[in-house]
């Protein structure tokens, strides 16, 4: 007799979550294409007193971690992104009915794939959102990074809610 997966029992499907990841990926790549087509490296446009659009290249990870490591980090972070993709799709397949959990994972998936595409195509991640205040600049980032951050926050919230329900 065939085993029924949780997805089969709940009637939920992972496809809407994969579609959300694709929406994030497409939005991320579209905005990066606009930046690459309209800005040279280092160009910046003042938007408000605390926000700029700027073209920056990040060969490292978050906050430019390992950006000056000599090139090997490109393949390390691409491999991590590929492994994360496999793990997330496996989790989405196993838990599609857990809405907050699946939203979080699919947001991370879309962002991770967006940054992997950049690494494979350019050798760096295109960043362009820059917040600043009184001479202090937060490291530039992109839509993929935003989706990963929102997804991570939702994962934490999901776990806190799960623990609370179990009490």
Q: How far apart are CA 54 and CA 76, in angstroms?
A: 26
What gap in Å lies between CA 55 and CA 43, rounded to an integer? 6
- State pLDDT tens for residues 15-69: 999 999 999 999 999 999 999 999 999 999 999 999 999 999 988 766 666 666 5
Q: Please name the residues in contact with 146: beta carbons below 8 A apart, sequence gap of 6 or more.
A: 111, 129
Q: State the angle between helix axes of 72-94 and 99-122 in degrees (0 to 180), rounded to the nearest 10.
A: 150
Q: What is the largest CA-CA distance in the chain?
A: 67
* In contact, 140 and 91? CB cutoff 8 Å: no
| Catalytic residue selected from 28, 43, 68, 127 | 127
Judge contact between 143 and 114, C-beta under 8 A: yes
CA distances to 1, 58, 127, 131, 146 from 139, rounded to whole Å, are 54, 10, 9, 8, 12
Which residues, in sequence order, are bridge partners of residue 48? 51
Residue 158 is among the residues annotated as catalytic for this protein: no
Active site residue 68: no
Q: Could you tell me the residue ranges of all domains in the chain?
A: 13-166
Mean pLDDT for the chain overall: 89
146-158 tens-digit pLDDT: 999 999 999 999 9
Which of these is catalytic: 28, 118, 145, 158?
Answer: 145
Predicted confidence band at 4 (pLDDT cuts at 50, 70, 90)? very low
């Amino acid at each position: 007799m065939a085993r029924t997966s949780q997805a089969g029992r709940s009637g939920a499907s992972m496809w809407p979550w994969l579609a959300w990841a694709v929406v994030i990926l497409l939005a991320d790549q579209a905005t990066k294409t606009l930046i690459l087509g309209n800005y040279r490296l280092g160009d910046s446009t003042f938007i408000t007193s605390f926000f700029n659009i700027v073209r920056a290249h990040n060969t490292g990870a978050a906050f430019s971690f390992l950006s000056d490591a000599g090139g090997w980090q490109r393949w390390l972070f691409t491999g991590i992104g590929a492994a994360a993709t496999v793990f997330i799709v496996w989790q989405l397949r196993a838990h599609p009915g857990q809405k907050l959990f699946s939203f979080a994972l699919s947001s991370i998936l879309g962002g991770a794939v967006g940054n992997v595409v950049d690494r494979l195509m350019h050798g760096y991640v295109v960043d362009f959102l820059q917040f600043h205040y009184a001479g202090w600049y937060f490291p530039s980032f992109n839509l993929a990074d935003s989706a990963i951050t929102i997804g991570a926050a939702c994962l934490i919230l999901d776990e806190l809610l799960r623990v609370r329900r179990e009490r």
